[in-house]
Each structure stands twice: as C-alpha cells, then as structure tokens.
Amino acid sequence: MNAADTTTAAHGPGGIGHAVVIGGGISGLAAAHRLLDGGARVTLLEASSRLGGKLRAGEIAGVPVDLGAESMLARRPEAVELARAVGLGERLQPPATATASLWTRDALRPMPTGHVMGVPGDLGPLAASGVLSPEGLARIAEDARLPRTEVGEDVAVGEYVARRLGREVVDRLVEPLLGGVYAGDAYQISMRAAVPQLFEAARTHRSLLDGVRDIQARSAAAAHQIGPTATGPVFMGIDGGVGTLPGAVAEAVRAKGGEIRTGAPVTEVRRCSDGWRVVLDEASPLTADAVVLATPAPAAARLLADVCRPAAAELTTVEYASMALVTMAFRRSDVERRLTGSGFLVPPVDGRKIKASTFAANKWGWLGAADPDLFVLRTSLGRYGDEEDLAREDAELVAFSRADLRDAVGLTAAPVAAEVTRWYGGLPQYPVGHLGRVARIREAVAQLPGFRVCGALYEGVGIPACIASARRAADDILGTLRPGPLADE
C-alpha cells in the first residue's frame, strides 16, 4: 500500500481499538507486532519507501549482506524471541568466530580478555597484549592507592575511568569498544546509561579494579547456577543477514491483519474527541484510539511540538552520530591467509580513517556458503564529532579503507565489488544525564492518553533494547484500550 490508500485493515482478534504506529524501523515494527498480539487493530506508517530503519539487507557481487547492523545481543532475549516468533528461528546463527583484535600502536594486537567494556579486571592478558605502554600499565596500579572517586548522579565513562586507571585505558580500550556501540565519545557518554554495571561498581567500590573483579565474579557465579546450556552465545546473527528481520516482522504483522503503509509521512498528530487524528502528507487523516511514536528524536520533536511541548523540548536536545559502512568483496584467494578472526577495532587516538573492520566472511558461516570464492569484509568510518569524511565521494571512502587495510593486515588486492552506505543521524548519543532526560520525556508523554514513544533513544541502541522499548510502549497502550466501538477513518 502507499500513502494514497485510505482503506483500513480488519480489526484485531479482540477488536479492542485502533492503534497507529508512526515509524517503520525495528522498534515500530515490533510495537505493531505486540499490539496485534494484544488484540488491537494496527496501522503502521513509514515516511520512507523502505522498512527497517538501521537494519538493511543488501547484496554485493551477488552475495547477500547486511548494510546496517549485522548482529544482535543474544544475552538479552527480546531480539531472538522476536526472530523466532516471525519464523526465523532456524536461521539464527552465532558468530563462527569472535576473536577480535585492536589495531593500535602500529600493530594488530589481541583483544585482551578479562575486561568490562574495556575496563580491565585481569591485568595479565592486558600486559601480554601490548595494547598499553609500560607507562600506561604502571598508571593502572595507582587505582589501589587513590581515594574514592565520587560519581554523583552520573558521570562520563571516560572521565571516571581516566581518573582511576589513566587515559591510556580509555583511549586504547574503552574508546574503541564503547565507540563501536554508540559511535560516540567515551569522555561524554553516560556511564549510568551505557555501562550501568560499572556505574554501580563505582558507587559501591573505592577501587575500580576491585569493582570490575566483583562484576566478573558475580557473572561467573550466576552462569554456574544457571548451567552452561543456558548461557549460550553472546551475539547472534541471521542466515541472510540481520537486515532480513524487519521484512519478516512486517510479513507477520500483515498476516495478523495489520496494515503497513510506506511512503506515508505524518505531518501532524493532534487530539480529537474520539482519540487521535494522524494527518498524512498526501492522504486522508486517520483517527486512532492510540498512537505509538517510533521515530528518531527530530521527527518525534516535530510531531509532539503542539501536543506535548515539554517532551518536544527535551527531544530537540538529542544529538546523533553519523557514520559510513564500506562493504567490499574480494577474491578469497587474495585475502584468505591474511585475514583471521572476526576483525579489528581502531582507537581514534591512533589517527586512522577507519574505526573498525569486520571480516564478515569469517564471522558468519552463511556468508562463506553463499559464494565460497568470495570474501566479504566491512569497514566503518565516522563517529560523533568526526564526520567530515562522510561528505567525500564513495570512491574516496573505499580508498581510505583499502589504505588502512593495507597498513593493518597487508591487504593490497583490489576488491571485485564495493558498496558504501551512509547512515546520517544513525545513532542517538547517551551523554551524562541521558537517563534523566528519557525519564522527563516519558513522564511528559504519559500525560497524553493513549500515546507512547519508543526507539533507540530510550532503553539502548541495540536491537534487543529497541524491541524492549517497543514492547513497553505497546503494553502500556494495550492497558489503555478497552473493548468497544472503534473509531473509523
């Protein structure tokens, strides 16, 4: 269907009300799926011509690839549960290898074990890796002698860790790992929001090293109690790419009676006597009993400007990071012996163009099976505050990636195909005080009857966190809907 369609889908199985979901990323799709399971009638509206948001399936040299996020955290259940619910259970695959490196101090070095988001608990593997200089290693020992560092209501991860263990730990360990998640600056990212277990450790331990060891001991004890079969892989992918998940959820939504419209930008949302009026750019307005707003902050702020000014004001303060992904396919014979493990991260302090490279053909078994003669890898460029290169031509970004790959792993072969994908406004930033901002947004929106928000801004940027926020919004909405006559368009 397109924006000109004005017909509506059948009522949900319980006929409890009509909910409009604005935004067709994984959050909006998950909210629609949940609402339908709860008995609501659902219309999902997506402004662009494509569903999926930051999840995007594509291909290169005839091989299916992810052009956005490529894996999902499996230790949180929401994403795996949704994949299974929409028929992708048999296609779930853990990484074939998770052996990553750090390209730092002019060499590829093994990622040290025994850390929490780059903050070490076991200094043996860190010393053996060569990631830190002798001076950097010596600085860590001061943690045992330093007085407690108060963290208050929140503190930046980089700021706190640098005070306790020195800047080298932040610049060469925390920064590339945390940046890989948020494409952000560790010296600005909220520890309470991004790494809550470290924040709790900072509040309860004088020594950060002791706090990290306590986290690790409790995790090990919990895993022992649960048993080895219940822990499972940390991450999970999908045969064919994580980018296939949105399409599968959309199919399930339609099969349950939901309506999905792409090319349907919403220009206004306003209260009316029988619920909510959702105004579309080129179609008749919709009347809904409830609305779930699953868009990035700028669009959400615009739509809330007239109906919830306090939330809109908070949303206008949210900043986003932009990045580019360069996906390349090489002849396997040209690269196979040079590229081992799952790839490497690059600390920004080293001044390279790329921030990471994933050896996708090593990491995902289904990629190797798709074409045994090709080797697919990805690089990423850009992060918060470092986005100038994204304005360059595709060929320049490919050249930057090839130059860094040559220096890192000696790869000189030319790719048989390359694809550049830019993600402008790709990831919301979680600065100090972020959780307070989210609480204020939600508190303000909660004053609107039958209206909720969800997405990467609220509970985490990962796929499971987005789905969790969608479930929360949908469950709140279902609690407000009651059986009775439905308003119609």
Q: Please state, in angstroms and rounded to a whole number, the distance separating the CA atoms of residues 238 and 91.
A: 5
pLDDT digits (tens, 9 = 90+) for 155-207: 999 999 999 999 999 999 999 999 889 999 999 999 999 999 999 999 999 99
Q: Please state, in angstroms and rounded to a whole number, the distance separating the CA atoms of residues 245 and 60.
A: 19
Q: Tokens 């580019």 identify what position?
A: 324
Question: Band of the pLDDT at 282, cuts 50, 70, 90?
Answer: confident
pLDDT above 90: residue 221: no
pLDDT digits (tens, 9 = 90+) for 422-459: 999 999 999 999 999 999 999 999 999 999 999 999 99
Check if the beta carbon of residue 161 is closer than 8 Å to that of residue 119: yes
pLDDT above 90: residue 228: no
* pLDDT computed for residue 3 by the predictor: 39
DSSP element (H, E) containing 83: helix 78-85
Where are the strands (E) in 183-300, listed by range? Answer: 235-238, 259-261, 266-272, 275-280, 286-288, 290-293
pLDDT above 70: residue 254: yes
Q: Which domains does the chain have, with CATH numbers?
A: 18-49+243-318+431-480 (3.50.50.60), 103-227 (1.10.3110.10), 320-428 (3.90.660.20)
Check if the beta carbon of residue 76 is closer than 8 Å to that of residue 462: yes
For the chain, percent of residues with pLDDT exceeding 70: 93
Nearest of 183, 243, 241 to residue 425 by alpha carbon: 183
Check if the beta carbon of residue 413 is closer than 8 Å to that of residue 334: yes
Q: Please state, in angstroms and rounded to a whole number, the distance separating the CA atoms of residues 335 and 85.
A: 38
Sheet of 266-272: strand order equals 266-272, 275-280, 286-288
Transcribe 407-451 into DSSP letters.
HHH---PPPSEEEEEEEEEEEE--BTTHHHHHHHHHHHHTTSTTE
Q: Cβ–Cβ contacts within 10 Å for residue 113, how many?
A: 13
Output the six-digit token pair for 278.
């959702």
Average pLDDT of span 268-295: 94
pLDDT digits (tens, 9 = 90+) for 409-421: 999 999 999 999 9
Nearest of 280, 241, 249 to residue 263 by alpha carbon: 280
* pLDDT computed for residue 336 by the predictor: 72
Q: Please state, in angstroms and rounded to a whole number, the distance separating the CA atoms of residues 309 and 269.
A: 13
* pLDDT computed for residue 224 by the predictor: 64
* pLDDT computed for residue 160 by the predictor: 98
Q: Please state, in angstroms and rounded to a whole number, the distance separating the CA atoms of residues 119 and 75.
A: 20
* pLDDT computed for residue 297 by the predictor: 98
The CA radius of gyration of the chain, in Å to the nearest whole number, is: 23
> What is the average pLDDT score of the chain?
92
Q: How far is CA 484 from CA 230, 276, 406, 423, in A?
A: 43, 16, 66, 43
pLDDT above 60: residue 315: yes
pLDDT digits (tens, 9 = 90+) for 343-374: 999 999 999 999 999 999 999 999 988 899 99
Angle made by CA atoms 113, 119, 121, in degrees to the nearest 5: 60
Nearest of 220, 36, 42 to residue 121 by alpha carbon: 220
Q: How far is CA 296 from CA 355, 380, 388, in A?
A: 24, 22, 22
pLDDT digits (tens, 9 = 90+) for 82-101: 999 999 999 999 999 989 99
pLDDT above 50: residue 395: yes
Taken in order 231, 356, 326, 411, is the CA torsion positive or negative? negative
pLDDT digits (tens, 9 = 90+) for 34-78: 999 999 999 999 999 999 999 999 999 999 999 999 999 998 999
pLDDT above 70: residue 138: yes
pLDDT above 90: residue 6: no
* pLDDT computed for residue 98 by the predictor: 85
Longest Cα–Cα distance of the chain, Å, equals 72
* pLDDT computed for residue 52 by the predictor: 97
Give the global pTM. Answer: 0.93
